[in-house]
Structure formats: structure tokens, C-alpha cells
Chain A
């Protein structure tokens, strides 16, 4: 089975309702970071809610595998609460977990980039010529799937993994972007840039 077919099969098995976007991976300070130029998650229903002055929670998982997404070797999960300033018409984000951080006065594109910039995987254990695959998954969180979120400070990794393993209900919105096969030696290197504050 070809790599593309494996990726497609993996996505179908994971229950993606949308075609996965392409992911741009770069090496930054010995960490793998990503951007997804074609991915717009501050749009549609989430954007509608934000424009109504309601905060919206997002969860993202960045994962790495060495067998075309069949098994995950490394993962990073981050969660954010976004809101839209009705008078200044800019977005603010509160990043949950540790370390906790926040940012304001962002455009929609800037807010998307800031969330993705917070995701990183260590590249130290990877051989420079060994192929690997990366996948970014995101979802607008659904309150009907508490996943132990009530006590955010002590959310277990297993509960968060479960959140991403579960099929979504109709009202949820989810996204995905994939890349691979990649090799460390072939990646563009960059220094950590400031998130998209304007």
C-alpha cells in the first residue's frame, strides 16, 4: 500500500469528515513546529459564535508516527479559549495548561497561527534520515464530552488522547492536516518566531 493510500486510509479510519489539509513542518530549536496554510478554523460556526460574543474552546493534537499514521510515537495536545473583542474587532486567546499564556489584538489568521505555534514535538530522538509522518488534528470542543475537563489543572493525558480518538457528534467541528513522509535532514530550519500578535 502506498504512503498516500495509507494516509487516506488512516484518516478514514479516524473518522475525518473532511479532506485533510497539507501541513508545513519546520525544525526550530530542536523541535518540530508546524503551520497549515490551507487550514481555516476561525471560520464558519466557530467564527459565528465568536462574533456573537461567546468564547469558543479549541483543542489541538500534533502527532508524529514512523509508520504513516498507523501508530503515534509522539504527541502534543494543547487547548485554547478564544474570544472576539466586539469593540476592537480583534481576537484574544487564553492558552490552558502549563505554561499558561494569553495574547490579544490578533487577526483571525494571527489567532490561528498563534495556536499552531504553541504546538511542538521534540526532534532529538529522530534519526536524520529516517522517514516520519506528522498529523495535526483540531476540534471545537463539545460540552457533552467532558473528558475530565472540569478539573483542567489535572487533566490526564489519557483523557485528552481519548478526546481525539472519539468520533465527533454532529455539532462538533474538526480539522486535520497531514505531512509525510518527511526526513529531519530535509526540513527547513528556523528560529522560534513570536506568535502572530499585530
Chain B
């Protein structure tokens, strides 16, 4: 808790200034710590060393200075979240229980955050500003955001996003979420030109809305399953203006495990599988299935960090443009333009990236291919160097190819 270190400093200075022993900064320092715990985050996300130091407090007299130091260490691990202490009476007389609470940082009654803002020298600006009103109880979360995104899909989509999340539905293991999105689109000339010679690919649309209810089940601690539905409606332009639907059953299975070994090296392994199955049963104009797989491993040893990521996807059937896979943006094949890799996207995709960081310096290598069924995959590579500190990053990336290579410049922040 940010106020605590100040209080501790004040008290420490008071001690230094005085000749005899001063009164305790916290009157509860006369009591013995009975139990210590951390709430708001999975225990596995707290470093092993910190967990051990927290447990060392048990059986000792409560020390505000030690608690403040531990709060500062915990805060470092969760820089965007507020950490505070909650001390309560223990079960035994003259004992106290300490809980370090990691919460979302909420200023005033709302949490404003630029969740994504970056500049890409080929794509231009992408930005999203979202607000989560506070005071709705610990289990309810509303969010509202406006955005203009030229990075994730072939189109630039701009509009609003609103969501509701109930973090506990009867039990801590079930969550309910509902999201609504409404966008209008702007298309790149390369995509429009390529569409003329590709009658198999569905055409462009000017507006798109998505309503997505979903339930998330915590199956076992690092494993989560999300099931739900996605009702997408979009207004096509050619051959005639009409509204089409791509209503899907969605399912996602995710694994996220963070470990710390005996040498205090940190490992994080994330893996996921996603399915969007669009069927006529849900009154859809399309029939297809979109499968995605991803695997990410992160390793940290002191100031050295290594990150390896692999993603792949397959679409069976004829899917609209917003479902087609894109490579060559701020996350994949950095150094390439997505309109040079595949101006209409692709129904098959495989991508691998490797990043090494030392302090704020970073080097990245990407390799990937996007292709359609019946075509040969044409792997592409890129290299980049840059800086990264917390959420802020800067990268200059080059495509690895014969002839002239124009660098891509990517700068921005992700929260």
C-alpha cells in the first residue's frame, strides 16, 4: 500500500531523530503474527522467495517496517495493481492475522486506462481507451471502451465495446461474461484489389456487430475452459448491400502456469486452444470452423528474459474476412506488412517468434507463413531490435529477404 512506506519512513526518521526508543508506528507491533496470506492473485504468481519471506513473519512480533518492505516487493510483481495490508485479530489472544491484498487500482469511481496504443509505420495508429466504473461490488465489473484498431485484422475497425463480467457465479470457479461490440470498417487498397481476383473469398463489409455471452470454468488451478456463443452481424457491400450473420459456438481451453525454481529463475508456460464453430443451426449465413493453437514459454533470470511463442490456425470452410488469419502486424512477422504477406489474410497460418531481452534492450526474430488450402506455404522471416520497459516498447524490424528491405517502426504501449 503506497501510504505505508511513507509512514514507515516517517517513523524510521523519528527513530533516528530521537535519543530514546520511540513509540511504535503501529500499535499492533506488540502482537504476534498468527498467519500470513496473499489474496487477489493465485499464490503461484507470487515469487517463491517472497512467499517464503512472508511465512517467516509467522510467530514473530508484527513489524510494520517488514510488512511495508514486503508490500513493496509484491507491488513490483503487480505494477498495475494496488497492494494493501489487512490485519485482523487472530484466533489466539494477542495474535494477529495478516493478509496482503492485491487489487485492481481504482481511482475515484472509475478506472481509466489506455489498454492499447501504438504506432506502426505501415498501418498507422491503433488505440483503445476503456473505462471500468467502480463501486459495483467485488463480483461485478462493467467496462466500456472506444477504439480504432488497424493492427489485429485486415480491416481498420473503429467503434465501441461494452462488457459485463460477474467474477463469481455461485462459486469462485465459474464466471459469467457478456460482451457487445459495434464497429465500422475502413479497407486497404491492397485488400480491395486482391478481392477482385478472388471470388472464393467473401467480400468486404461496412459495419459489424458482435454479441458474445460466455461462461468460464476453472477446471483445475492452471486450466480454464470458456464456452459461449458469438452472434456476429455485418453489412456487406457487394454484390448488394445486405446483412449477413456468422453465429458461432465458441470454446477456449487455456493453461497458464508460473513456476520459480530453486535458483529463483522464473518460468511461465501458457497454452491454449480456441474453436469458433459457425453453423446453420444458429441461423448463420456461413458454415465454417476456426481452430487456433498457441503456446508461449517465458523464462527470466535476473535481467535476462527469453520468450518463445508459437501460434497456428486452420479454418475449414468459407469464412468472412474478420476471421481470416493475419501475419505482419505489431505481434507477428514484425518487419513485414500484412498486405504484402497476404492482403486477403489466409485460412492457414503458422508463426513462431523468439525474443531475448536484457534490461530494456530487446532482440526479436519472427518466422511464419500464411496460406490457403491447396497452396504452398511460403515462410517469411524478420528481425528486430528495440527497447522495452514495462508496458512501453519501441522496435525497428526488418524483413529478411533479397533486395531492398524497408524497415518497420513500431512504438507504443500495451496494458
Residues on the A chain within 8 Å of B84, using CB: 52, 54
Residues on the B chain within 8 Å of A92, using CB: 23-24, 27
Q: Which residue from chain A places its CB closest to the CB of B99 in the assembled complex?
A: A52
Check if B23 sits within 8 Å of A94, measured CB to CB.
yes
| CB contact list, B307-336 vs A, under 8 A | none
Q: Which residue from chain A places its CB closest to the CB of B9 in the assembled complex?
A: A150
Given A100-B14, A100-B18, A170-B108: A52 and B25 interface contact (C-beta under 8 Å): no
Q: Which residue from chain B places its CB closest to the CB of A54 in the assembled complex?
A: B85
Q: Does B247 contact A (CB under 8 A)?
A: no
Q: Which residue from chain A places its CB closest to the CB of B27 in the assembled complex?
A: A92
Check if B25 sits within 8 Å of A53, measured CB to CB.
no
Given A86-B88, A153-B17: A143 and B3 interface contact (C-beta under 8 Å): yes
Residues on the A chain within 8 Å of B96, using CB: 53, 86
Main secondary structure of the interface of B (DSSP, over half): mixed
Given A83-B25, A94-B22, A152-B17: A53 and B87 interface contact (C-beta under 8 Å): yes
Check if A54 sits within 8 Å of B3, measured CB to CB.
yes
Q: Does A81 contact B (CB under 8 A)?
A: yes
1/0 per residue A118-161: CB within 8 Å of B?
00000000000000000000001111101001111100000000
CB distance from A152 to the nearest CB of B (A): 3
Residues on the B chain within 8 Å of A94, using CB: 11, 14, 22-25
Check if A87 sits within 8 Å of B23, measured CB to CB.
no
Check if B93 sits within 8 Å of A87, measured CB to CB.
yes
Check if A52 sits within 8 Å of B85, measured CB to CB.
yes
Check if B85 sits within 8 Å of A86, measured CB to CB.
no
CB distance from B84 to the nearest CB of A (A): 7
Number of contact residues on A: which range applies? 35 or more
Q: Does A28 contact B (CB under 8 A)?
A: no
Partner of A146, one of B6, B27, B85, B87: B6
Q: Does A84 contact B (CB under 8 A)?
A: yes
Partner of B28, one of A85, A140, A143, A152: A85
CB distance from A40 to the nearest CB of B (A): 20
Residues on the B chain within 8 Å of A39, using CB: none
Bound CA span A98–B134, Å: 42
Given A54-B84, A85-B28, A92-B23: A49 and B9 interface contact (C-beta under 8 Å): no
Q: Does B1 contact A (CB under 8 A)?
A: yes
Partner of A53, one of B6, B14, B85: B85
| CB contact list, B1-47 vs A, under 8 A | 1-7, 9-11, 13-14, 16-18, 22-28, 31
Extra contacts besides A83-B26, A86-B87, A149-B13 (7): CB < 8 Å: A53-B87, A54-B3, A55-B4, A55-B11, A86-B88, A87-B94, A153-B14
Q: List 7 A-B contacts (CB under 8 A).
A: A54-B1, A85-B28, A86-B87, A87-B94, A96-B10, A142-B2, A144-B2
